C-alpha cells in the first residue's frame, strides 16, 4: 500500500511539474513572439491561465501534505493528545461537510459553462473549470480518511 501511495504521490508531482514546465514554455513563446517577431499570440495567454488554474488546484488536491498547511493551533497545542485527535476529527468533519454540501452546486455551475467557450482557442469552459470539481472531490476523500483515522486514534485503547 505504501508503494502505491508513493507512486501516486510521485505521479501527481510529475503532472504538476509538467504543467508548470508547459506553462513556462508557453510563456517564453509569447515573449519571443512579441519581442523578437513583433507578433502577439493570443492563445498563449489562454493556455497560461488555464495551466495556472489547473496547477494550483492539482497541487492543492494531490501534492500538498497536511503538514504544509499553516494553522492557528494555540488551543490545539494546549490540550492532551486525545482531545487533539477529537479537535482534528471535528475539523475534518467540518471541511468534509462543507465540500460535500458545495459539491453538487459546484458541479452544476461547472456544467453550466459547457455552453461557453474560451475566446481564442474556443475550448468549452467546463473543461477549464472542471479541475475545481476534481479538487473538491479529492479534498473530501482526504478528509473522510482523516476523520476515520482521527476517530480510531481518539477512541483506541492506546490513546492517552
pLDDT in tens, the chain (160 residues): 899 989 999 999 999 999 999 999 999 999 999 999 999 898 999 999 999 999 999 999 999 987 777 777 788 888 888 888 888 899 999 999 999 999 999 999 999 999 999 999 999 999 999 999 999 999 999 999 999 998 888 777 665 5
The answer to whether residues 79 and 155 belong to one domain is: yes
Cβ atoms within 10 Å of 49's Cβ, excluding its own: 13
Into how many domains does the chain fold? Answer: 2
Residue-range definition of the domain harbouring residue 35: 1-64
- Check whether residue 52 and residue 80 sit in a common domain: no
Closest among 153, 119, 134, 112 to 55, alpha carbons compared = 134
Amino acid at each position: 500500500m505504501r508503494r502505491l501511495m508513493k507512486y501516486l504521490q510521485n505521479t501527481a508531482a510529475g503532472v504538476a511539474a509538467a504543467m508548470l514546465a508547459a506553462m513556462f514554455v508557453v510563456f517564453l513563446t509569447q515573449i519571443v513572439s512579441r519581442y523578437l517577431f513583433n507578433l502577439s499570440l493570443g492563445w498563449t495567454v489562454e493556455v497560461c491561465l488555464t495551466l495556472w488554474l489547473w496547477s494550483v488546484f492539482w497541487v492543492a488536491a494531490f501534492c500538498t501534505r497536511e503538514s504544509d498547511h499553516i494553522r492557528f493551533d494555540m488551543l490545539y497545542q494546549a490540550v492532551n493528545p486525545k482531545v487533539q485527535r477529537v479537535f482534528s476529527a471535528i475539523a475534518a468533519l467540518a471541511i468534509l461537510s462543507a465540500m460535500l454540501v458545495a459539491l453538487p452546486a459546484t458541479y452544476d455551475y461547472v456544467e453550466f459553462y459547457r455552453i461557453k467557450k474560451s475566446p481564442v482557442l474556443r475550448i468549452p469552459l467546463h473543461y477549464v473549470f472542471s479541475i475545481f470539481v476534481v479538487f473538491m472531490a479529492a479534498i473530501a476523500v482526504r478528509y473522510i480518511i482523516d476523520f476515520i483515522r482521527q476517530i480510531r486514534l481518539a477512541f483506541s485503547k492506546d490513546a492517552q
